[in-house]
Amino acid sequence: MIFSTTVSLEPLFNFCHSRREASIHRSKPKPLFPPFSLSSSSNTIKNYASWNFCYSRPHHRFHTPKFEAFATKTDTLESLQSSDVLFNRTFPINRTELVEGKIFVRLDQGKDLRNWELTVGCNLPGKWILHWGVSHVDDVGSEWDQPPRDMIPPGSIPIKDYAIETPLKKSWSSAEGDTLHEVKIDLKPSNEISAVNFVLKDEDTGAWYQHKGRDFKVPLVNSLKDDANIIGPKKSFSLWPEALGRISNILLKSEGTDDKVQDNNSESRGPKQENSQLEGFYVELPITKEVTVNNSISVSIRKCSETAKNLLYLETDITGDILLHWGVCRDDLRMWEVPPAPHPPKTVAFKDRALRTQLQSRDSGSGSSVQISLGEEFSGFLFVLKLNENTWLNFMGNDFYIPLPSSSSAIIGNREDQSEGVQREVTEKADQEESVSAFTDGIINEIRHLVTDISSEKSRKTKSKEAQEIILQEIERLAAEAYSIFRSSVPTFSEETVAAFEAAKVVLPYSPPKVSSGTGTGYEILCQGFNWESHKSGRWYMELKEKAAELASFGFTVIWLPPPTDSVSPEGYMPRDLYNLNSRYGTFDELKDVVKRFHEAGIKVLGDVVLNHRCAQFKNQNGIWNIFGGRLNWDDRAVVADDPHFQGRGNKSSGDSFHAAPNIDHSQEFVRKDLKEWLCWLREEIGYDGWRLDFVRGFWGGYVKDYLQATEPYFAVGEYWDSLSYTYGEMDHNQDAHRQRIIDWINATSGTAGAFDVTTKGILHGALERCEYWRLSDKKGKPPGVLGWWPSRAVTFIENHDTGSTQGHWRFPSGKEMQGYAYILTHPGTPSVFFDHIFSHNKTEIATLISIRKRNKIHCRSTVQICKAERDVYAAIIDTKVAMKIGPGHFEPPSGSQRWSSALEGRDYQIWEAS
């Protein structure tokens, strides 16, 4: 029995931002962002009952929570002091609750009755930041400006030239734990400033809170046009605009809004305002936030001395009415069955397949528990928890399973240290089995789902034979992935085993790593062997040849060479005659020579191939360059039909357009045939071992799969360059949509190629530039880039010929390059090092990092345990062998059974190795 947990959450505010939306502010002049566009989404604000924040205790409404349970490190735990305890295990649970609260905005007169005071607050926990600016009377559209200095509260930070960020301060707490955060801004009457604009940012999550998907706008003059995002009294309802004391409580409602607006209290009213343009008001708006709560489920087993039965005790600190849905099994098949009576109180049968027991509240009032008696004939206890009609809590998509000891079993577990949350190993075998499971559980589940899918579809006969074949191919790919994991994993042995081998003088045979076509062995370290200026000498191949031995000594296993073909541009990315390999980097013979030299040094070689576009040699009858020459003398049928500049007669493009050259139509059979022959010729004639694929956003990944299957490369990586998500010029914390698009492309190739992890590079930028290292952990505690989802296909990098060098399109934060390399060279994925960084003052540090990676056998599927992801420090342990930290904050590896020694320390980074 497997129950999934699915919770639907409806956000109340638009957390994203769109450049196209007219209400969004921009600076004067418009600020320049990195080469990534802002994302947008649309959410609906629900209508909730309003309440007076000032005079009643703020209450939180908790929505249906969602849960995720995580495995403990071992299946068997330590012995209790009491000898009758045979087993004890605790399952930590990452529980997320959606909490409702309020944002409030209040405009009052100041103490001297001549000035005004704007207060913005929130009653939910968090690190709240007010991102704000002002509009002037003569401004057009949604432009912001920085306010005058006398308006800026202490502790504020200027954001470029258009905004201010001011932290909200804790001002009040109730006995129930509700906390009010607020900030006050002094306003002086001015005929120049027309409005104060703001959004609220939660620094804990990186979420932005807006008003109906737009900026909050507080008008300061009557002449401001009415708008949906204006906060304050609506003029059409204001009966006495200059006599605020006559109205005590007005609730204004209009179509599409649920704002609660009331007049200011009597203390801030006057019979006549000096500035008749302003009116006091108070507005409340609903807000929701996901709050993480740490809970756990503990299961312990004792042996009853009188009946010899197993007494199972289950307890949890989750509050509320919880239903235990449970059963037992007799063997490893784990088939559910109902045990004989007696059963705990409040137990009912469920379809003769399971039992349901209401957990009893504990005497302490926090959480609930139950005790169950089970016979020795059963081998395991199975359960899930039902929290309500739509929410079930299970273990990583499967039933919770607890092994039951038999009468002949020795004590198999003992108590964990609850105060420290540390769980120690009992046997090496249990740890090894769990590590293998952690590698493969996801793949096995995928295969199960696919097998179930094709089986059910065959029975219904609703799917075509072709569709079933696609599913079978996907199963084959996943099975190959699982096989590769087993073959490339490094076996571990207990000290006793090693001693036995040494005593017997047994020599273990060397087993070379398994090579998966297109993705290597998993231990690759890539060097980009050129920069944007390398072509200028005219003999780059010969210069690079002299560095082959040195690069091999550093530990590089693969080198990426520049585009080899005749090209309109000297850098090689505007190819013309594909079979002409005399380029600005060197001649055909020099290319073969440098490839041979790297092979002699033990380094594989990637060719940089441009398949998306090709420059024509001749014009058509309309004077358009779309007729090709050379050995591949294609006509305009090879150009996509929807390329607006080159009048192609092919089919529509399967990707994005590259506007500088004709985009090739890969759906044409003759094009694919010619390109496969050309790539095979490069493999055989030049000796390339694999490919770096340029601008793969321009055509479908399925065509890439076709080319790679024909050429069987050792390694292949695609450049899928896509825009990260930004809000108000600042990178969003959640970049799942960005990395999903890269994953989708890899999936389209059926996993035959990896992709550059642009997501990780972008997030490293945000973390290092503003000292926000919390960005380096996603909401599930994993690395937030592609390497957190599909590490074996993630090629990580911090710089290349486009982003760095003399182009500098998206240069890595200056002076922090070694922090970037400390991250990618210790983490899973396949790291790529830029040529300019190798032969710089960082040479020794990079070489040491590579040595640490190779010495500890870190590979593309290594495991990452994130220890810290805070404002000023990120720290992680990789494969339990290497610990690292980046950032100015403090971190020391945990002391325990492992001893750690410092292996490398530099500016704001440090690496440790397990002794």
Burial class (CB in 10 A: 0-12, 13-18, 19+), 152: middle
Interacting residues of 669 by C-beta distance below 8 A, sequence separation 6+ = none
List the structure tokens of 213.
């998907």
Distances (CA, A) of 143 to 130, 150, 161, 189, 198: 17, 21, 11, 21, 12
Joined tokens for residue 768: 């290092």
What six digits make up the tokens of 560? 């990426």
**Active-site residue, 441 included:** no
Of 689, 694, 722, 799, which one is the catalytic site residue?
694
d(C-alpha 836, C-alpha 533), whole Å? 11
φ and ψ of 11, to 5 deg: -70, 150
Sheet holding 874-878, edge to edge: 864-869, 874-878, 882-886, 909-914, 900-906
Helix axes 428-460, 465-488, angle to 10 degrees: 170
Residue 884 to residue 317: CA distance in whole angstroms: 34
Peptide bond into 403 cis (omega under 30): no
- Catalytic residue (choose from 719, 757, 799, 908): 719
What's the rounded Cα separation, in Å, for the pair 731 and 202?
Answer: 13
Beta bridge partners of 173: 179
Q: What span, in angstroms and rounded, lies between the C-alpha atoms of 278 and 260?
A: 18
As a whole number of angstroms, the distance between CA 821 and CA 848 comes to: 11
If we measure between CA atoms, which residue out of 751, 165, 692 comes closest to residue 443?
751
Taking alpha carbons only, the member of 754, 752, 743, 742 closest to residue 793 is 754
Return the structure tokens found at 634.
Answer: 């294609």
- Residue 319 CA to residue 229 CA, distance in Å, equals 39
Nearest one of 693, 565, 681 to 630, comparing CA atoms: 565
Place of tokens 């920085």: 146
B/e letters for 494-514, b = 16+ CB within 10 Å, e = fewer, are: eeeeeeeeeeeeeeeeeeebb
Q: Tell me, what amino acid is at 537?
A: S
| In 776-907, alpha helices (H) | 817-824, 835-838, 843-855
Is 719 a residue of the active site?
yes
Q: CA 182, CA 168: separation in Å to the nearest integer?
A: 5
Q: What is the DSSP string of 404-447?
A: PP-TTPPP-----BTTTTB---S-HHHHHHHHHHHHHHHHHHHH
The rounded distance, in Å, linking the Cα atoms of 715 and 728 is 39
CA atoms within 13 A on the CB side of 801: 19
Active site residues: 694, 719
